[in-house]
Amino acid sequence: METHVRRLENFEISKGADLPQDPVISFGPEDLRRIVAPHNDALVVTATIANYDMARIFIDNGSSGRDSRWVTKMITFTMVDTPSSYNGILGRPALKDFRAVASMYHQKLKFPVGKEVGVLCGDQKVARRYYVGIAKEEGSCGGQYD
Protein backbone atom coordinates (compact mmCIF):
# COMPACT_ATOMS: atom_id res chain seq x y z
CA MET A 1 0.00 0.00 0.00
CA GLU A 2 1.42 3.36 -1.03
CA THR A 3 1.58 6.13 1.47
CA HIS A 4 1.07 9.67 0.25
CA VAL A 5 2.51 12.46 2.30
CA ARG A 6 0.96 15.88 2.12
CA ARG A 7 2.56 18.93 3.61
CA LEU A 8 0.82 22.21 4.31
CA GLU A 9 3.08 25.19 4.44
CA ASN A 10 2.00 28.56 5.76
CA PHE A 11 3.53 31.67 4.24
CA GLU A 12 2.86 35.19 5.42
CA ILE A 13 2.08 37.13 2.26
CA SER A 14 1.36 40.52 3.78
CA LYS A 15 0.17 42.14 6.96
CA GLY A 16 -3.57 42.02 7.67
CA ALA A 17 -3.93 45.79 7.26
CA ASP A 18 -2.59 45.53 3.70
CA LEU A 19 -5.20 43.00 2.60
CA PRO A 20 -8.28 44.28 0.74
CA GLN A 21 -11.46 44.22 2.80
CA ASP A 22 -13.49 42.34 0.20
CA PRO A 23 -16.94 40.95 0.93
CA VAL A 24 -17.29 37.19 1.35
CA ILE A 25 -18.00 35.48 -1.96
CA SER A 26 -20.00 32.28 -1.70
CA PHE A 27 -22.34 30.11 -3.75
CA GLY A 28 -25.46 28.45 -2.43
CA PRO A 29 -28.75 26.85 -3.48
CA GLU A 30 -30.20 30.24 -4.48
CA ASP A 31 -27.52 30.46 -7.18
CA LEU A 32 -28.97 27.38 -8.87
CA ARG A 33 -32.27 29.04 -9.76
CA ARG A 34 -32.84 28.97 -13.53
CA ILE A 35 -29.99 26.47 -14.06
CA VAL A 36 -30.82 23.41 -16.14
CA ALA A 37 -29.32 20.53 -14.17
CA PRO A 38 -27.62 18.20 -14.28
CA HIS A 39 -25.23 19.87 -16.70
CA ASN A 40 -21.67 19.78 -17.89
CA ASP A 41 -21.76 23.22 -19.53
CA ALA A 42 -18.87 25.61 -19.89
CA LEU A 43 -19.22 28.99 -18.19
CA VAL A 44 -19.93 31.38 -21.07
CA VAL A 45 -20.90 35.00 -20.34
CA THR A 46 -21.50 38.36 -21.99
CA ALA A 47 -19.43 41.31 -20.80
CA THR A 48 -18.69 44.85 -21.90
CA ILE A 49 -15.23 45.14 -23.46
CA ALA A 50 -14.02 48.46 -24.91
CA ASN A 51 -17.59 49.83 -24.64
CA TYR A 52 -19.07 46.93 -26.65
CA ASP A 53 -21.23 44.13 -25.29
CA MET A 54 -19.25 41.04 -26.28
CA ALA A 55 -21.11 37.75 -26.19
CA ARG A 56 -19.61 34.25 -25.99
CA ILE A 57 -16.80 34.93 -23.54
CA PHE A 58 -15.49 31.68 -22.15
CA ILE A 59 -14.47 31.77 -18.48
CA ASP A 60 -11.46 29.50 -18.13
CA ASN A 61 -10.35 28.75 -14.55
CA GLY A 62 -7.82 25.49 -14.80
CA SER A 63 -27.05 37.09 -19.43
CA SER A 64 -26.12 39.34 -16.81
CA GLY A 65 -27.99 42.45 -15.76
CA ARG A 66 -26.13 45.69 -15.29
CA ASP A 67 -26.56 47.47 -12.02
CA SER A 68 -24.31 49.33 -9.61
CA ARG A 69 -22.27 46.20 -9.01
CA TRP A 70 -19.89 46.15 -11.94
CA VAL A 71 -16.17 46.77 -12.22
CA THR A 72 -14.02 48.39 -14.88
CA LYS A 73 -10.43 47.18 -15.22
CA MET A 74 -7.76 47.73 -17.84
CA ILE A 75 -6.40 44.33 -18.79
CA THR A 76 -4.18 43.15 -21.61
CA PHE A 77 -5.66 40.77 -24.15
CA THR A 78 -3.71 38.52 -26.46
CA MET A 79 -5.20 38.60 -29.94
CA VAL A 80 -5.06 35.40 -31.97
CA ASP A 81 -6.10 34.81 -35.56
CA THR A 82 -7.65 31.38 -35.29
CA PRO A 83 -11.16 29.98 -35.59
CA SER A 84 -12.96 29.76 -32.26
CA SER A 85 -16.47 29.38 -30.98
CA TYR A 86 -15.75 32.11 -28.43
CA ASN A 87 -15.21 35.83 -28.95
CA GLY A 88 -12.96 35.98 -25.90
CA ILE A 89 -11.47 33.88 -23.14
CA LEU A 90 -10.92 35.19 -19.63
CA GLY A 91 -8.35 33.06 -17.88
CA ARG A 92 -6.67 33.03 -14.50
CA PRO A 93 -4.71 36.30 -14.91
CA ALA A 94 -7.88 38.32 -15.60
CA LEU A 95 -9.87 36.47 -12.94
CA LYS A 96 -7.10 37.27 -10.46
CA ASP A 97 -7.12 40.96 -11.45
CA PHE A 98 -10.88 41.11 -10.89
CA ARG A 99 -10.53 38.99 -7.71
CA ALA A 100 -13.30 36.92 -9.26
CA VAL A 101 -14.51 33.46 -8.34
CA ALA A 102 -16.11 31.26 -11.01
CA SER A 103 -18.46 28.35 -10.41
CA MET A 104 -19.27 26.30 -13.48
CA TYR A 105 -21.75 24.29 -11.39
CA HIS A 106 -23.67 27.45 -10.47
CA GLN A 107 -23.00 29.08 -13.89
CA LYS A 108 -21.87 32.29 -12.20
CA LEU A 109 -18.85 34.51 -11.87
CA LYS A 110 -18.76 36.57 -8.67
CA PHE A 111 -16.42 39.45 -7.86
CA PRO A 112 -16.09 42.15 -5.20
CA VAL A 113 -17.45 45.62 -5.95
CA GLY A 114 -16.69 47.78 -2.95
CA LYS A 115 -18.50 46.12 -0.04
CA GLU A 116 -20.90 44.24 -2.32
CA VAL A 117 -20.63 41.23 -4.64
CA GLY A 118 -21.17 41.57 -8.39
CA VAL A 119 -22.56 38.61 -10.30
CA LEU A 120 -22.15 37.69 -13.95
CA CYS A 121 -24.49 34.88 -14.99
CA GLY A 122 -23.56 32.23 -17.51
CA ASP A 123 -25.66 31.53 -20.59
CA GLN A 124 -26.28 27.78 -20.80
CA LYS A 125 -28.14 28.02 -24.12
CA VAL A 126 -25.16 29.66 -25.79
CA ALA A 127 -22.70 27.26 -24.15
CA ARG A 128 -24.70 24.26 -25.36
CA ARG A 129 -25.24 25.66 -28.87
CA TYR A 130 -21.51 26.16 -29.40
CA TYR A 131 -20.56 22.87 -27.77
CA VAL A 132 -22.84 21.03 -30.20
CA GLY A 133 -21.36 23.00 -33.12
CA ILE A 134 -17.80 22.13 -32.11
CA ALA A 135 -18.67 18.48 -31.52
CA LYS A 136 -20.23 18.19 -35.00
CA GLU A 137 -17.27 19.93 -36.67
CA GLU A 138 -14.75 17.68 -34.95
CA GLY A 139 -16.79 14.53 -35.49
CA SER A 140 -16.87 13.98 -31.76
CA CYS A 141 -19.09 11.35 -30.28
CA GLY A 142 -19.81 10.48 -26.72
CA GLY A 143 -20.42 14.05 -25.55
CA GLN A 144 -23.46 14.77 -23.42
CA TYR A 145 -25.17 16.81 -26.17
CA ASP A 146 -24.29 14.78 -29.29
Domains of the chain (ranges plus CATH)? 22-138 (2.40.70)
Burial of 66 (0-12, 13-18, 19+ CB in 10 A): exposed
Average pLDDT estimate for 129-143 = 58
| pLDDT score, position 30 | 94
User: What does the DSSP assignment read for 110-123?
Assistant: EEEETTEEEEEE--
What pTM did the predictor assign?
A: 0.65
Residues 1-24 pLDDT 10s = 455 555 555 555 555 556 668 899
Residue 9 Cα distances to 6, 96, 138, angstroms: 10, 22, 44
